[in-house]
Structure 1
Amino acid sequence: MRNDENSPLSAKELETYFSEDYLYFGDVVKSPEESDREAGAIWKLLSLKQGTPVLELGCGYGRITNRLAEKGARVTGLDISPILLKKAEADAAERRVNVEYVPGDMRSLPWRDRFDAALLWFTSFGYFDDAENERVLHEAACSLRKGGRLLIDHLNRFAWLRDKSPTCEIVQRDDNLRIDIMKTDALTDRINWKRIVVRDGCVRRMRFSFRQYGFPEYDRMLRNVGFDAVEAYGQDGGAFTPYGPRIVVVAHK
């Protein structure tokens, strides 16, 4: 049985979720040191070099994108949120790096055979139903040249089910709170997220939902859209285990 809570997100809901409130709590959730470490791991996992053309889908406020540009990659970032893209552009200017930021939907990309690497980092995959999620992978594959690599970083559903579901997390910045209530629907393999933001005397509520996949499902989908080899890693490129918090998938075209 399906309900609104368990249904895939619309483009409008995504834009609402990835809003100024998301940006406000960003540095509390991910410290600059964590972001530096993750950018270094991505550089190694994708075998990036100076001048490599890279696409980040769901780039948000440029937390990773701008760091890859600092390391020397030629980076393009796409996101559906104009608020987050504006912050990404401002951060790129402050860091004195040249990044192309493009507003858009990852289900329909304007590029073909342009990039040597692409990434969907920090659970930026699975927002839609299965057909549209596979469409995202198809579009990513089409944007890559032959020999290109796609990286996906996501929650490890085995560890999540054991340790985290259902759960409640509270993030505080100054006197403001972000409250997340999360639970897994076992029939659909979706994590459904209720978020309450208490900020500057106002209360805002929104929802978030994404599909979790195991490695065999990633392997099947990625091969369906044109990738030849698919590898699994753990957090930041370490060995994958059922007990680790993340699954990192690298696919080769």
Structure 2
Amino acid sequence: MGDIAVVREGSGPEVLLVHGGAGPRTTWGVLAPLAERWTLARVHRRGYSPSPPPRVRQDFDEDARDLAPLLVGRPHVVAHSYGALGTLIAAAAVPGGARSLTLIEPPLHYLVPDDPEVARLERIGDAALTHGMDADPAELRAFLRLVGASVGDGPLSEGVVASVRRAHGNRPPSQARPRLDAIRAAGVPVLVASGGHAAAFERICDALAAALGGERGVYPGAGHFVAAAPGFTERLDAFWSRNPS
């Protein structure tokens, strides 16, 4: 099936950028100014051109197999949403492979059991992946809004429909169980970031930061696409600079 594509720009220490359901440009375009001091390596997960399609479906274990070889050079790693699942699995499989980890609103629902907001996020997210455009319309719209899609009261746009169809059949994140203990034992510096727009993501990120012994940051203003929030670029730059080796 071939290797996944990684597009690099800039100079300086490498930062591996792993997108989620949205593509690399949408997720990471706002970080372009950081290329003055860092080499930004934008991963294109399988199914996102120019990378090859997934073997069967989008799957965080397949993502992890693709990402693990990219950790050989000990890059800083920033991962968003679904992309954080494979990133965490790869980081646990290659102890010390990541110079640092920045994790943005990953759907690790199991970290917050018996929480109604988290349980709802898990339910509507799994339904969107399992049923696609045949999911309950109200719940599908609610999920799309939570993950940053531009959704109004009228018909869904062609772009949003295409995204739903691309995600249809993907492996549900509720099945992911990354070895967080291995990452913490390796002493990897961690920053867990959220956008302050949804209680479920805030609680998941709180629990993840506690499990990894990591730093925690909330950056409102851009919803699920936290990278575009005011102050986030500066926080990344400072975080990487404080963890040079």
Question: Which TM class, normalised by the smaller chain length?
Answer: 0.3 to 0.5
Q: Greater helix percent: which structure? A: 2
Q: Greater strand percent: which structure? A: 1
Task: Calculate the TM-score normalised by the size of structure 2.
Answer: 0.44
Task: Calculate the TM-score normalised by the size of structure 1.
Answer: 0.43
